[in-house]
């Protein structure tokens, strides 16, 4: 059955979704929770997008509202996009180049989380970031209505620029959209659906955009349901029961662990697993004892039982042992492991094979650090406490006096980043805003990602190696012209970082999605997770 016949056969009905709580503002320039990025994927479009096909290479950006890839000039400092013609917003307004320019200005005016990290490189962005009255970006974003083009001028080359334009907070909205957070009122978008009602305490409703016509089925396919109703307020236990009974068709939250056996016994055809682009790891402060000694960091990588970590996460169906910091699902991921049984930095094993406690103890003995005090900071969650305790026990086996300090999850992430807190080792995870290797390696390990005494220092280990920085810069430069070569260089940078072991990668988790008996066509994207608009309902 071709795509057209498939759409005719399964189009229609109401898709019913449930979640414990809503994701906050539905303003696309403000919304940052994965929950809203997922539900807004069929509502909004950017110049670029991550593919929504549910198969193939779903992590490299493709043209969306742009009519093809941009022309790149001036050594990567100028990007020229031609806009597709004839696209309308859900209010009937015809998309034009001024909407794109106005959206870029709006990103700064509403203080979007994407403004500073991703678009401060635009010429003229400094006054916008400073909150000054004049924020016109006239030198950085040039709209040419006659040519149908939008030109971006950057202060310096940015090889991740297309990824940043595909990030959902760069979604294009009409030029007349208010310059403040619209909160519970969703601005018009260009996708197949529009948000018609939203009460963050109760429900969100989506209906078809009457002006939508498919221009590219990879960037923005049509949706199957006529309506999507997203209800809030049930806890995870109640969500599972409601989906099992057909009261809802899909639940956002992961089922509680005590229900996994039931799902495996009775609902296998309705359970769908997909990889998440997130790595959970222990960051080790390379500037504080005992982890300022490389042998100690390598010893912990040899000694931590990643198979046990996988079991803590629900078993091999729900997690993988992690040996590097580029997750499975990104093309430059390498499954080889430099630590544990049968592995070394010079001769990595094909994958994690098990602990090598003898070598780990020998490394600690050689370091002369045995007997030192170590505090393991972790999230005060079931996952954080279990994994933190497992690492504490491993440190004790290696001869350290170790204790665990759980911290509220909302606080812990920023607490780990601030050097003033003198954290020796801490448990955390990272899921990048866009699925590029640099969004993991450069963000977490580059010298310029380390900011002492700041809560915004994602390089929590304080790691800095100028030679690895140059390798990452070279990999980024190769990314647009020769992706295959760039992937190999990112793998080399990842291996070089792990040779110095500023972190202990633990697990990469998987997503479990439970659907009702009347749902079919369950497709997942590494970025958007389940493609909700692609679900059909009987």
Contacts of 76 (CB under 8 A, 6+ apart): 154, 157, 158, 159, 480
Query: Quick one: pLDDT band at residue 455, thresholds 50, 70, 90?
Result: confident
- CATH class assigned to 276-511: alpha beta
Distance CA 77, CA 135 (A): 20
- Partnered with residue 509 across adjacent β-strands are 319
Q: What pLDDT was estimated at residue 526?
A: 82
Confidence of residue 55 (pLDDT cuts 50, 70, 90): low
Instruction: Check if CATH label 3.40.190.10 holds for domain 3-233+515-537.
Output: yes
Query: What are the residue boundaries of the structural domains of the chain, listed by start?
Result: 3-233+515-537, 276-511
- The predicted-structure confidence for 369-393, as pLDDT tens digits, reads as follows 999 999 999 999 878 898 999 999 9
Give the per-residue pLDDT at 488. 96
Give the separation between CA 436 and CA 479, rounded to whole angstroms: 10
Mean pLDDT for 450-464 is 93
Residue 9's pLDDT is what?
A: 80
Task: Determine which of 211-215, 325-329, 434-438, 476-480 has the lowest per-residue pLDDT on average.
Answer: 476-480
Model pLDDT for residues 484-514, shown as the tens digit of each residue: 999 999 999 999 999 999 999 999 999 999 9
The values of phi and psi at residue 36, to 5°, are: -75, -35
Two structure tokens written together for 260 = 């996994």
User: What's the gap between Cα 384 and its chain centre?
Assistant: 20
Report the pLDDT averaged over residues 274-297.
96
Question: Residue 352 has which token pair?
Answer: 């994690």
Rounded Cα gap, residues 25 and 40, in angstroms = 11
Q: How many CB atoms lie within 10 A of CB 330?
A: 21
Q: Alpha-carbon distance 7 to 5, whole Å?
A: 5
Q: What is the pLDDT of residue 437?
A: 93
Q: Is the pLDDT score of 6 beyond 80? A: no
Mean pLDDT to the nearest integer, 33-54: 93
Torsion sign, CA atoms 355, 359, 363, 368: positive
Which residue is listed with tokens 């300090």? 405
**pLDDT for the residue numbered 129:** 86
Distances (CA, A) of 409 to 68, 253, 412, 416, 467: 42, 17, 5, 11, 34
The mean pLDDT value for 467-481 works out to 91
Q: Residue 410: is its pLDDT beyond 80?
A: no
- Section 312-317 average pLDDT: 88
Quote the Cα angle for 346-347-350, to 5°: 140
Instruction: Count Cβ atoms below 10 Å from residue 465 Cβ, excluding itself.
Output: 18
Mean pLDDT of the chain: 94
Asked if the model's pLDDT at residue 2 lies above 70, the reply is no
**Bridge-based pairing state of the strands 373-379 and 401-407:** parallel
As a whole number, mean pLDDT of residues 452-464 equals 93
- Helix, strand or coil for residue 450? coil
pTM of the model: 0.87
Write out pLDDT tens, residues 80-117. 999 999 999 999 999 999 999 999 999 999 999 888 88
- The closest alpha carbon to 277, from 469, 439, 159, belongs to 439
Q: What angle do CA 258, 263, 268 make, to 5 degrees?
A: 155
Across residues 256-281, what is the average pLDDT? 92
Q: How sure is the predictor about 479, in pLDDT bands with cuts at 50, 70 and 90?
A: confident
Residues whose CB is less than 8 angstroms from the CB of residue 330 and which lie 6 or more positions away in sequence, other chains included: 59, 277, 435, 436, 437, 440, 526
């Amino acid at each position: 059955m071709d795509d057209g016949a498939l759409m005719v056969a399964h189009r229609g009905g109401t898709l019913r979704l449930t979640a414990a709580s809503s994701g906050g503002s539905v303003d696309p320039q403000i919304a940052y929770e994965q929950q809203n990025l997922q539900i807004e994927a069929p509502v909004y479009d950017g110049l670029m997008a991550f593919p929504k096909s549910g198969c193939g290479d779903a992590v490299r950006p493709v043209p969306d509202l742009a009519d093809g890839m941009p022309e790149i000039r001036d050594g990567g400092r100028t990007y020229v996009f031609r806009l597709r013609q004839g696209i309308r917003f859900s209010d009937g307004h015809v998309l034009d180049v001024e909407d794109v320019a106005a959206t870029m200005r709006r990103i700064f005016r509403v203080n979007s989380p994407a403004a500073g990290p991703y678009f401060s490189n635009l010429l003229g962005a400094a006054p916008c970031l400073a909150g000054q009255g004049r924020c016109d970006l006239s030198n950085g974003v040039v709209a040419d209505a006659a040519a149908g083009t939008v030109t971006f001028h950057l202060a310096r080359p940015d090889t991740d620029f297309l990824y940043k334009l595909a990030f959902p907070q760069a979604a294009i909205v009409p030029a007349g959209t208010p310059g403040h957070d619209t909160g519970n009122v969703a601005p018009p978008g260009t996708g197949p659906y529009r948000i018609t009602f939203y009460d963050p305490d109760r429900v969100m409703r989506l209906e078809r955009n009457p002006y939508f016509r498919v221009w590219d089925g990879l960037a923005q396919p049509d949706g199957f349901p006529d309506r999507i109703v997203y209800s809030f307020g049930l806890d995870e236990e109640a969500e599972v029961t409601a989906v099992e009974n057909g009261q809802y068709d899909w639940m956002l939250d992961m089922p509680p662990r005590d229900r996994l056996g039931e799902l495996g016994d009775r609902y296998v055809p309705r359970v769908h697993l997909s990889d998440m682009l997130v790595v959970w790891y222990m960051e080790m402060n390379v500037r504080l004892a005992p982890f300022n000694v490389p042998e100690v960091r390598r010893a912990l990588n040899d000694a931590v039982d990643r198979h046990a970590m996988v079991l803590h996460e629900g078993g091999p169906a729900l997690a993988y042992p992690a040996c590097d910091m580029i997750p499975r699902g990104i093309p430059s991921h390498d499954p080889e492991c430099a630590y544990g049984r049968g592995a070394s930095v010079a001769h990595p094993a094909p994958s994690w094979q098990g602990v090598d406690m003898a070598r780990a103890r020998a490394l600690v003995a050689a370091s002369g650090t045995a007997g030192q005090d170590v505090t393991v900071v972790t999230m005060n969650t079931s996952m954080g406490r279990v994994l933190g305790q497992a690492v504490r026990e491993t440190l004790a086996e290696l001869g350290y006096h170790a204790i665990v300090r759980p911290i509220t999850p909302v606080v812990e992430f920023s607490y780990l980043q601030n050097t003033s807190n003198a954290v020796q080792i801490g448990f955390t995870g990272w899921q990048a805003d866009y699925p590029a290797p640099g969004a993991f390696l450069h963000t977490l390990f580059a010298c310029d990602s380390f900011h002492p005494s700041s809560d915004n220092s994602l390089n929590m280990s304080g790691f800095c190696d100028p030679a690895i920085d140059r390798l990452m810069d070279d990999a980024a430069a190769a990314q647009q012209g020769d992706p295959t070569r760039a992937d190999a260089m990112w793998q080399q940078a990842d291996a070089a970082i792990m040779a110095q072991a500023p972190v202990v990668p633990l697990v990469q988790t998987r997503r479990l999605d439970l659907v009702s008996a009347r749902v079919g066509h369950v497709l997942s994207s590494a970025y958007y997770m389940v493609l909700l608009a692609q679900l059909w309902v009987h």
